[in-house]
Structure 1
Amino acid sequence: MLSGYLTGRTVRERLAAGDKEAAIREMAELLAASGKVADVAGLVRAALAREEQGTTGLGEEIAIPHAKTDAVTGPVVGFARSPEGIEWGALDGTKARLVFMIAVPEEAAGDEHLRILALLSRKLMSAGFRERLLGAADEAAVLRVLGEIE
C-alpha cells in the first residue's frame, strides 16, 4: 500500500540529525528526492507548525511528523532510523529511533494522510515489526521490512 508513496529514494538508513527540528529538516530533504516537494522550506515550516499543536512522537521509539501543505505536489512518505534516538516529546519518554514523515498536498489532504497514518500506526504496534526495522542491516533490508506494510 505504501509502495506508491515510499520508495528507495525516500528511505535513509541513518539520520544524521541530533534533534527534532534538524530531523524534520533532514526528512524534508529526503522527501524532496521523490520529486514531489516543490518547496522544502515550506514543508519544514508546515511540519514544525504541526509539532507545535502536539508532538508526533508516538512512543515505542516512533515519531511520525506529518504535514498538509502545498509545498508538496503529491502524497509522499519517508523513513529513516536514528540509532541513538531523538528526543521527540513522546509521552512514554522514549527517544524516536524510527522516524516516518508523511506529507500530502493541502487539497488532497482529506483522509489520505490519516489513512497512511493509520496503516503505519497499526503495523508499528507490532514489536516484531519494529525490531526487524531497527535490525535491518542495510537500505535494501529496510525496504524489504517496509514492504510488509499493506
Structure 2
Amino acid sequence: MKLDELLSPEVITFHLHHSEKFAVIEELLDLLVQTGKVRDRATALQDLIEREKYLSTGFENGLAVPHAKTRAVDEMVMSFALSREGIDFDSLDGKPTHFIFLLLSPQDVSGPHIQLLALIARNFQKKEIVDKVYGVQTPEELLSLFHDFK
C-alpha cells in the first residue's frame, strides 16, 4: 500500500494548533474522526496513548509515527502533519520532530501495518527526501512526493 492511497488533503495539516506530543496525537486523530473512518474516538485515543507510553514512536531525522492497532477502525487510516517549528516527541536522536504520521489499523491487520511503518522509516532515512518533504507547500505537492516512496 502506498502513502498517497491512505492520505488525502483533508487529513494533512501544515498548521498544528498544539506543540505537546499527546495534544498533537489528538489533533491528528481528530482529522481522521472528521472523515468518519474512526468509529470510536475514545477507544482510538486510548490505544494510541497506551502505545506511545509503552515506547515512544519518535524516530530520527525529525520523524514520528504514532500508531496503534484498534477496534475503532475497519481499515487502515492515516493522517499527517508537518511542523516546521518542531515538536518534542521523545525521539531517538533527541531532536525536534517535524514529520508526524498517525496510523491506525484494525486489530487483525499485521503485515500491511508493519510494511507501512517500514516504508515510512526507510524513506525518511534519506536526507534528500527529508528536505523535499520539509519544503512542500500544499497537500497535493506532498501527496505527489509520497506517491514515489518505495
Matches within 5 A, 1:69-80: 69-80=70-81
Is the aligned partner of 1:47 residue 2:48?
yes
Once the two structures are TM-superposed, the CA of residue 72 in structure 1 deviates from its matched residue by: 1.2
Matches within 5 A, 1:105-124: 105-107=106-108, 109-124=109-124
Once the two structures are TM-superposed, the CA of residue 29 in structure 1 deviates from its matched residue by: 0.8
Q: Which runs of 5+ in 2 are unaligned?
A: none
Instruction: Give TM-score, length-normalised by structure 2.
Output: 0.92
Report the RMSD for the aligned CA atoms in angstroms. Answer: 1.3
Once the two structures are TM-superposed, the CA of residue 68 in structure 1 deviates from its matched residue by: 0.2
Q: Percent identity?
A: 30
Indicate the residue corresponding to 1:147 in structure 2: 147
CA distance in 1, matches of 2:15, 2:132: 15
Once the two structures are TM-superposed, the CA of residue 91 in structure 1 deviates from its matched residue by: 2.0
Provide runs of 4+ in structure 1 moved above 6 Å: none
Instruction: Give TM-score, length-normalised by structure 1.
Output: 0.92
Q: Which runs of 5+ in 1 are unaligned?
A: none
Q: How many residues align?
A: 149
